[in-house]
């Protein structure tokens, strides 16, 4: 009766073995490390690894090991001083084409990592670092959109002199007409050309006046696009900090969370997040030779020397056609006629006019896109801090003008769709699309993070031991079986967190502590049911079987309702709440397996198919 078939015992043993294997990486700790990755599309290779090892050896910096994996290089160190020295040396020697970041690298043995074994990811509250909550000014986004549509309407209606006056009024555009026939013609033109504008009814409005507002769907698209563009811009800027595994994500409809593990200098982080960047469109100087200008040290009049990010030089005209301030949109795609990658650019009215005049005059000439970033860095000079302003200018694209265009055009001559997507991102990320404000700021020191880990582990162990003692005293041998199941449950929770690489935070640890207390509920229900059956003079073997079978439905109901609550927390919660919900959900599922299946398997081994006079319960 109380006996599992061999295949079932083997399956249980297999799951427990896999759990132990994937939980094992967490006991090996971490090494101090420096992470080197590419700042652009270049793929890190063995050549880069050899170069880095050469730099460290020439600087006489002692390191533990260096290896290439997952498109990045990890150099491990035995002490903090070597780690910091290596970071500064590599940053100076490698240049801006690489991102050099401090990191903590799990010291998992090679044989275990070959099986896919990874340690759990730790959250900011456990690793230390800086947390910012940024709020995007969506009112400014809509106001800028109104300005754009105002200029677009003026240009559209001016050609046929369809309007008497046009002006902005808060978040609307008011257009007056001389007579009704012009109004009807204008409304038809606006409907076909500017579909994002809708007419709003204003009480007492003149019959020859129409008021337009941006449609709700267009507003949602504009604000959504602005938020995504700001996230892209911030992500690019965070790379300048050299942060390993930063978290930059949307929170709600108008907020952005930025978490920078390992960063303690909030002033430096603010400077990078607030850096001002822009773009410039310039014509390529095709009459003069770039190498001649470099060798002579003199650039031709009306031209200036610029460089691609990989160091290639190019002469560009000093006259700027348009800047990033004129760009209102950029999206990658495929040219349907030639089936080649492209980037669609949208400029405002002034930028469109300048582009139209230029492309008419310089058809089939090359035009370059220059990415310019102004940064402020606080440095220490003779014991006092000063602000150092630096400007970087990189050519990100130089393509041939294929036809006459104005505010909407395509950039082609791009090698791949991936490069097209990256270029579109760079164009959109040239500057923040909307003002941002830091509304919350927290700094968690590394010592506090270590203290949080220590206290978190202590809370888990304390709760775990108290539950073990209670169960052993209250239910004797059956209690010890429950304790074994509870221990295996903890192992399985750690294993699942490691496999899915969920980030463990302090609320996540609270979820584990709660799971420890809840996990034995199922065993308590089963054991009490077994006692009831014994008091009713039921056969011992039947009592064990009835205890597990009859308590199953109650256990399932209780755990399913708790699981539903935790899934709701995960769906609608943010940050710490999600961390708590993840560990709680995992704990509920694993506890059902260990408390019911595993514990019964152990009881079956001890008591199954034997003549037993009494139970130790």
At residue 303, does pLDDT exceed 80?
Answer: yes
Mean pLDDT over all residues of the chain? Answer: 81
Q: What's the CA dihedral at 529, 535, 538, 543 to 10 degrees?
A: 30
* Interior/surface letters 311-334, b for 16+ CB within 10 angstroms, e for the rest: eeebbbbeeebbbbebbbbbebee
The pLDDT value given to residue 316: 93
Question: What's the gap between Cα 248 and its chain centre?
Answer: 5
At residue 275, does pLDDT exceed 60?
Answer: no
Beta-bridge partner residues of 104? 32
Phi-psi region of 60 (alpha: psi -120 to 50; beta: other; left: phi over 0): left
Which has the closest alpha carbon to 515: 563, 547, 548?
Answer: 563
The CATH fold assigned to 29-107 is Alpha-Beta Plaits (3.30.70)
The pLDDT value given to residue 245: 67
At residue 310, does pLDDT exceed 70?
Answer: yes
- What is the arithmetic mean of pLDDT over 67-86? 84
pLDDT digits (tens, 9 = 90+) for 445-454: 666 667 777 8
**Token code pair at residue 44:** 């890190």
The pLDDT value given to residue 271: 55
The pLDDT value given to residue 264: 57
* Interior/surface letters 407-440, b for 16+ CB within 10 angstroms, e for the rest: bebebeebeeeebbbbbbbbbbbbbbbbebeeee
- Distance CA(172)–CA(563), nearest Å, equals 48
The pLDDT value given to residue 496: 92
The pLDDT value given to residue 187: 82
The pLDDT value given to residue 495: 92
Q: Where are the beta strands (DSSP E) in 185-290?
A: 197-200, 209-214, 247-251, 255-261, 276-284
Bigger pLDDT: 411 vs 62:
62
At residue 596, does pLDDT exceed 80?
Answer: yes
Q: How many CA atoms lie within 13 A of 262 on its CB side?
A: 20
Q: Among the listed ranges 66-70, 292-296, 579-583, which one has the minimum average pLDDT value?
A: 66-70
Bigger pLDDT: 417 vs 523:
523
Options 3.90.1150.10, 1.10.3720.10, 3.30.465.10, 1.20.1640.10; CATH of 6-24+450-607: 1.20.1640.10
Give the chain's length. Answer: 617
User: How sure is the predictor about 14, in pLDDT bands with cuts at 50, 70 and 90?
Assistant: very high
Which CATH code for domain 139-217?
3.30.70
DSSP assignment of 416-453 equals -HHHHHHHHHHHHTTS-SS-EEEEEEEEE-HHHHHHHH
Rounded percentage of the chain residues whose pLDDT exceeds 90: 5
- What is the arithmetic mean of pLDDT over 14-21? 91
The pLDDT value given to residue 272: 61
Q: Enumerate the domain spans of the chain.
A: 6-24+450-607, 29-107, 139-217, 278-442
Q: Please state whether beta strands 303-307 and 436-444 pair in parallel, antiparallel, or not at all (unpaired).
A: unpaired
The pLDDT value given to residue 173: 86
Which class is domain 278-442?
Answer: alpha beta
Question: Which stretch, 34-48, 200-214, 437-451, 479-493, has highest mean pLDDT?
Answer: 479-493
- pTM exceeds 0.75: no
Q: Are the C-beta atoms of residues 164 and 177 closer than 8 Å to each other? A: yes
Q: Do domains 29-107 and 139-217 have the same CATH topology?
A: yes
């Amino acid at each position: 009766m109380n006996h599992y078939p061999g295949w079932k015992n083997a399956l249980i043993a297999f799951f427990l073995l896999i759990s132990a294997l994937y939980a094992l990486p967490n006991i090996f700790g971490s090494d101090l490390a420096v992470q080197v990755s590419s700042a652009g599309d270049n793929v890190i290779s063995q050549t880069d690894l050899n170069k880095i090892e050469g730099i460290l050896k020439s600087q006489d910096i002692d390191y533990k090991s260096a290896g290439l994996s997952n498109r990045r290089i990890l150099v491990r160190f035995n002490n903090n001083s070597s780690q910091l020295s290596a970071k500064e040396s590599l940053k100076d020697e490698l240049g801006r084409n690489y991102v050099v970041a401090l990191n903590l690298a799990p010291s998992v043995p090679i044989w275990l990592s070959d099986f896919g074994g990874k340690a759990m990811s730790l959250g900011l509250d456990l690793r230390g670092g800086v947390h910012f909550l940024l709020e995007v000014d969506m009112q400014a986004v809509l106001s800028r959109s109104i300005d754009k549509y105002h200029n677009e309407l003026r240009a559209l209606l001016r050609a046929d002199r369809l309007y008497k006056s046009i002006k902005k009024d808060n978040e609307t555009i008011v257009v007056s007409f001389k007579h009704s026939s012009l109004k009807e013609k204008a409304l038809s033109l606006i409907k076909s050309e500017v579909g994002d504008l809708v007419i709003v009814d204003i009480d007492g409005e003149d019959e020859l006046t129409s008021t337009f507002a941006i449609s709700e769907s267009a507003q949602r698209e504009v604000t959504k696009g602005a938020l995504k563009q700001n996230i892209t811009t911030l992500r690019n800027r965070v790379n300048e900090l050299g942060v390993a595994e930063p978290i930059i994500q949307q929170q709600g409809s108008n907020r952005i969370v930025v978490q920078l593990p390992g960063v303690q200098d909030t002033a430096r982080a603010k400077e990078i997040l607030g850096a001002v960047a822009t773009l410039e469109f310039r014509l390529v100087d095709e009459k003069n030779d770039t190498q001649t200008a470099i060798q002579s040290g003199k650039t031709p009049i009306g031209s200036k020397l610029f460089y691609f990010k990989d160091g290639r030089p190019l002469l560009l005209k000093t006259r700027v056609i348009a800047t990033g301030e004129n760009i209102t949109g950029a999206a990658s795609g495929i040219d349907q006629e030639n089936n080649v990658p492209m980037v669609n650019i949208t400029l405002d009215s002034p930028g469109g006019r300048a582009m139209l005049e230029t492309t008419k005059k310089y058809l089939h000439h090359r035009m370059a896109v220059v990415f310019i970033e102004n940064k402020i860095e606080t440095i220490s000079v003779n014991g006092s801090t000063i602000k150092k302003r630096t400007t970087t200018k990189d050519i990100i694209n130089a393509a041939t003008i294929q036809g006459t265009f104005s505010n909407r055009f395509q950039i082609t001559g791009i090698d791949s769709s991936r490069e097209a997507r990256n270029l579109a991102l760079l164009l959109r990320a040239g500057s923040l699309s909307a003002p941002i404000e830091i509304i919350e700021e927290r700094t968690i020191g590394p010592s506090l993070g270590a203290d949080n880990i220590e206290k978190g582990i202590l809370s888990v162990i304390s709760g775990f031991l108290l539950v073990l003692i209670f169960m052993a005293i209250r239910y004797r041998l059956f209690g010890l079986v429950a304790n074994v199941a509870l221990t295996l449950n903890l192992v399985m929770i750690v294993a699942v967190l490691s496999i899915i690489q969920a980030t463990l935070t302090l609320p996540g640890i609270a979820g584990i502590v709660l799971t420890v207390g809840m996990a034995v509920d199922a065993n308590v229900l089963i054991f009490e049911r077994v006692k009831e059956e014994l008091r009713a003079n039921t056969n011992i073997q039947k009592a064990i079987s009835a205890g597990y079978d009859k308590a199953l439905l109650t256990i399932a109901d209780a755990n399913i309702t708790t699981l539903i609550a935790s899934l709701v927390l995960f769906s609608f919660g943010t940050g710490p709440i999600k961390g708590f919900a993840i560990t709680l959900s995992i704990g509920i599922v694993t506890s059902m397996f260990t408390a019911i299946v595993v514990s019964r398997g152990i009881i079956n081994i001890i008591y199954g198919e034997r003549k037993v006079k009494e139970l130790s319960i």
